[in-house]
C-alpha cells in the first residue's frame, strides 16, 4: 500500500522583489559598467523569473539604505559566514512555522500531538540545537517525536525526505510524518563576476514548505498524492558542474552552463529506470511536477521527453513567481498540482524530477487520490492558463551563461 502526501503549506519572507530591481542591485554591487550591466539585465530578463522573495530587503534598495550589507561602494567588509548564519537562525524558524501552520490549517482534524515524525530539510543554514528542536517547541509537538535532519543535499533533498517519510509509513501504519523544508538562499550572494555566481545570483530565492505524509489518505475531501515509486540517477561527470561549498563569505554555488547538457543525457534513462517496473508508460502521464532549476533545464526536459510547455506549466509558474528556492521548490510545484486537481484526476499519475549536486537526478511517480471518491482515470489533462512567454534576449547578446538559466 502506498503512503500519501498532502496538506502542502508554503511561506515566503515579506520582501518580494522584482527581478529587474535585483539586477540593478547586482550590477551596482559588482561595479559593472554599461556594457556588462546591459548583459546582466538580459540574463535576468530571460530567466523566466518575475519576482523573488528574500529575508533581506537590501536587494530592492539603493546603496545607503542597506540593513545587512555594508553601505559602502564595494560592500566591504563583506558579510562573513557567521553573520549570514545569524540571520538564518533568526529568520528560518518563523518562516518554517508559517509553512507548517498553513499546512495544518488544511487538515483541522489532524492534531499536532498525533505527529509521530519530524523531518527538517535545509542546505542554506545549520546550527545546533537546531531547527528541528525549535520546531518541536514552537509547534507544541510531542517531545518524543522522532526527528531526522536532511542537511546540505541541495535542490533534490525534499525527494529524499519523502523517501524517508514513505519508509516510516511502510514500517508503521500509524506513522504521521511532518516534513519541513526551509531555504534562505539569498543569504549567500557572492560578490564575484564569475559565471557560476552570476547565474546563481540570478536564480535563487527564499521560501519554506511543509507537508504531511501518512499511510492513509488525509482525513478531508482535498486531494492527496499517493507515493508510488522513487528512482535515483547519478551523473559523476557532473561532479564539478553543480556543487555547494562553505567558504569564508557564505555558501558558494557552482552551477555551470553544462548542467542542462548533463540532464539532457541522463533524463531518459532516469525516466526509464523509474517506470520500467511499473504499469505506467510515459505516454500515460499528463501531470508533471519538475523542479524548476532554471528555464533552460525545463526546456531541455521538454525536448528530451516530448513534453509541451503546458505540461510544465506548474514548474514555470513557480519559477516565475518565486525563482529557485532549492529543496522547497519541488514542494511548491506539487502544491500547484494538488491545487489544480479535480475529482476527474483521481488515479492519474504524476511524474516529478529534482536535481542537485553530484550531479544527482531524482525521480518519483505519484498518483492523484481523492478520499471518498471513485473515478475512472481520465487521461485528458485539465486545461490551465499557460504562463507568459519569456522575453527574447537581444539578438546581439552572446553570453554562454544564458544557456544554464
Catalytic residues: 155
| Separation of alpha carbons 370 and 226, rounded Å | 10
Q: Confirm if 163 and 136 have CB atoms less than 8 A apart.
A: no
| Separation of alpha carbons 40 and 44, rounded Å | 6
CB pairs under 8 A, 24+ apart, for 36-45? 36/193, 39/397, 39/399, 40/198, 42/393, 42/394, 42/397, 42/399, 42/402, 43/198, 43/199, 43/202, 43/399, 43/401, 43/402, 43/405, 44/19, 44/20, 44/202, 45/19, 45/20, 45/390, 45/391, 45/393
| Separation of alpha carbons 6 and 334, rounded Å | 9
| Separation of alpha carbons 22 and 27, rounded Å | 9
Number of H helices, E strands in the chain: 10, 13
- Record the cell numbers describing residue 299, joined without a space: 526546456
β-partners of residue 204 are: 324
- C-alpha 249 chain-centroid distance: 23
Encode 157-173: b = buried (16+ Cβ within 10 Å), e = exposed: bbbbbbbbbbebbeeee
223 Cβ neighbours under 8 A, 6+ residues apart: 6, 338, 341, 345, 346, 368, 369, 370
Compute the Cα dihedral for 280, 299, 210, 100 and give only its sign: negative
The secondary element (H helix, E strand) that includes residue 210 is strand 206-214
The secondary element (H helix, E strand) that includes residue 3 is strand 3-11
User: Which of 167, 138, 137, 174 lies closest to 150 in space, CA to CA?
Assistant: 167
The DSSP code for 404 is: G
Amino acid at each position: 500500500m502506498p503512503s500519501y502526501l498532502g496538506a502542502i503549506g508554503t511561506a515566503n519572507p515579506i520582501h518580494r522583489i522584482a527581478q529587474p530591481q535585483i539586477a540593478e542591485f547586482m550590477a551596482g554591487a559588482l561595479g559593472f559598467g554599461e556594457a556588462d550591466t546591459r548583459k546582466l539585465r538580459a540574463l535576468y530578463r530571460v530567466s523566466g523569473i518575475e519576482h523573488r522573495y528574500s529575508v533581506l530587503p537590501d536587494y530592492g534598495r539603493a546603496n545607503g539604505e542597506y540593513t545587512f550589507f555594508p553601505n559602502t561602494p564595494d560592500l566591504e567588509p563583506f558579510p562573513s559566514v557567521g553573520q549570514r548564519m545569524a540571520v538564518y537562525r533568526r529568520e528560518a524558524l518563523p518562516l518554517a512555522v508559517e509553512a507548517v501552520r498553513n499546512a495544518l490549517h488544511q487538515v483541522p482534524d489532524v492534531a499536532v500531538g498525533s505527529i509521530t515524525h519530524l523531518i527538517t530539510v535545509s542546505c542554506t543554514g545549520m546550527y545546533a540545537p537546531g531547527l528541528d528542536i525549535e520546531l518541536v517547541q514552537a509547534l507544541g509537538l510531542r517531545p518524543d517525536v522522532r526527528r531526522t535532519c536532511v542537511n546540505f543535499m541541495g535542490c533534490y533533498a525534499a525527494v529524499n525526505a519523502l523517501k524517508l517519510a514513505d519508509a516510516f509509513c511502510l514500517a508503521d501504519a500509524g506513522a504521521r510524518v511532518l516534513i519541513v523544508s526551509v531555504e534562505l538562499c539569498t543569504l549567500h550572494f557572492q560578490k564575484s563576476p564569475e559565471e557560476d555566481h552570476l547565474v546563481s545570483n540570478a536564480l535563487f530565492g527564499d521560501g519554506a514548505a511543509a507537508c504531511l505524509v501518512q499511510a492513509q489518505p488525509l482525513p478531508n475531501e482535498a486531494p492527496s498524492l499517493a507515493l508510488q515509486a522513487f528512482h535515483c540517477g547519478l551523473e559523476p561527470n557532473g561532479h564539478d558542474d553543480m556543487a555547494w561549498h562553505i567558504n569564508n563569505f557564505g555558501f558558494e554555488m557552482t552551477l555551470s552552463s553544462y548542467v542542462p547538457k548533463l540532464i539532457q543525457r541522463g533524463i531518459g534513462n532516469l525516466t526509464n529506470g523509474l517506470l520500467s517496473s511499473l504499469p505506467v508508460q510515459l505516454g500515460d502521464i499528463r501531470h508533471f511536477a519538475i523542479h524548476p532549476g532554471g528555464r533552460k533545464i525545463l526546456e531541455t526536459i521538454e525536448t528530451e521527453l516530448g513534453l509541451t510547455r503546458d505540461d510544465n506549466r506548474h514548474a514555470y509558474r513557480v519559477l516565475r513567481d518565486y525563482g529557485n528556492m532549492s529543496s522547497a521548490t519541488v514542494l511548491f510545484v506539487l502544491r500547484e498540482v494538488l491545487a489544480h486537481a479535480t475529482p476527474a484526476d483521481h488515479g492519474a499519475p504524476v511524474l516529478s524530477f529534482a536535481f542537485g549536486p553530484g550531479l544527482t537526478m531524482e525521480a518519483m511517480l505519484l498518483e492523484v487520490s481523492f478520499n471518498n471518491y471513485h473515478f475512472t482515470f481520465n487521461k485528458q489533462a485539465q486545461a490551465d492558463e499557460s504562463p507568459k512567454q519569456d522575453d527574447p534576449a537581444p539578438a546581439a547578446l552572446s553570453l554562454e551563461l544564458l544557456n544554464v538559466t
